Amino acid sequence: MTQDYRAIVSQLDQISTEQALTRSHSCPPPDRRAVVRVVKALQALLFPLCFRREEAEMSDVALLESTMILLREQAVLSMRFAGEQAGEEQAEELVYAFAQRLPGIKRLLLLDMEALYEGDPAASRREEVMICYPGFYAISIYRLAHELYLLRCPLIPRIMTEFAHEKTGIDIHPGATIGEYFFIDHGTGIVIGETTVIGHHVKLYQGVTLGAKSFKLDENGHPVKKIKRHPNIGNDVVIYANATILGGETNIGDHSVIGGNSWLTHSVPAGSTVAYTAPENRKHPEDELA
């Protein structure tokens, strides 16, 4: 090969340096493949009938221990990559605190499974929900990632939920707060933002977006982060396909029904029914409320 590629590599390094993306991190990022192994092992631990484990003869205790060792290794990498002065001891504390939350996660997931089974006439048995439904698959990963997010573990929760996004088309930020009996039917195209708060017994159908309005900018023109940007959804709310609800000040009251293709950037009181109205038939913004 006669071509000289050194100049190209030099240009690529220069661009990375200009964007503050260099190879000089003191620690590499967590290994995405290892994080996915943690996800799959935890699913197999929580629901062994429906999720296969890599080593069928491994006991539950051995599986949990080996998975927590792997998670600890990745937690050290994630914390150091994020610039934290973390060592094995801090990572061990984080991982053990997470392990202690697994029984609570399983209880929540069993309620989610019940919501899916009771809410979908097509579900012939509860095990079918766990084995076949993308909604349950995404929720199971979200519930795990959310606890790591609350424990302030960098990067790993996002890797977990983006894996679920890749597998199911359901994008749930691990920072979102979601109550009990959460129901996702079909699921493809659902987006739930970081600061979304969802109550109990909420049903979402495909294509629903719980998102943010245009971002506020600081004095340097950069998006303002760590503020409430996404809506609050009350208890016993149903949101049908392709509805979009935006804004951190938008509140959907309890027992409301949001119709398909609706677009909401304002709050609605409890017990509301919101129906899509074609633009040519719309006289006032309030016409969205039926």
104: tokens are: 């609570």
Q: Which CATH class is domain 176-290?
A: mainly beta
Is pLDDT at 283 greater than 80 in this prediction? no
pLDDT band at 257 (very low <50, low <70, confident <90, very high): very high
Bridge partner residues of 217 (DSSP): 223
Domain residue spans of the chain: 26-170, 176-290
The predicted structure's pLDDT at residue 27: 79
Is pLDDT at 285 greater than 70 in this prediction? no
Cα 133 from Cα 28, distance rounded (Å): 35
- Beta-carbon contacts of residue 280 (< 8 Å; ≥ 6 apart): none
Cα 116 from Cα 109, distance rounded (Å): 10
The predicted structure's pLDDT at residue 107: 98
Is pLDDT at 153 greater than 80 in this prediction? yes
Report DSSP letters for the chain, one per residue.
-----HHHHHHHHHHHHHTT--S--SSPPPPHHHHHHHHHHHHHHH-TTTS--SSTT--HHHHHHHHHHHHHHHHHHHHHHTT----HHHHHHHHHHHHHTHHHHHHHHHHHHHHHHHH-TT--SHHHHHHH-HHHHHHHHHHHHHHHHHTT--SHHHHHHHHHHHHHS-EE-TT-EE-SS-EEES-TT-EE-TT-EE-SS-EEETT-EEE--SPPB-TTSPBP-SS--S-EE-TT-EE-TT-EEE-TT-EEPTT-EE-TT-EE-S-B-TT-EE----GGG-SSGGGGB-
The predicted structure's pLDDT at residue 56: 79
pLDDT tens for residues 15-60?
Answer: 876 666 655 456 789 999 999 999 999 999 999 989 988 887 889 9
Is pLDDT at 70 greater than 70 in this prediction? yes
pLDDT band at 219 (very low <50, low <70, confident <90, very high): confident
The predicted structure's pLDDT at residue 290: 44
For the domain spanning 26-170, the CATH number is 1.10.3130.10
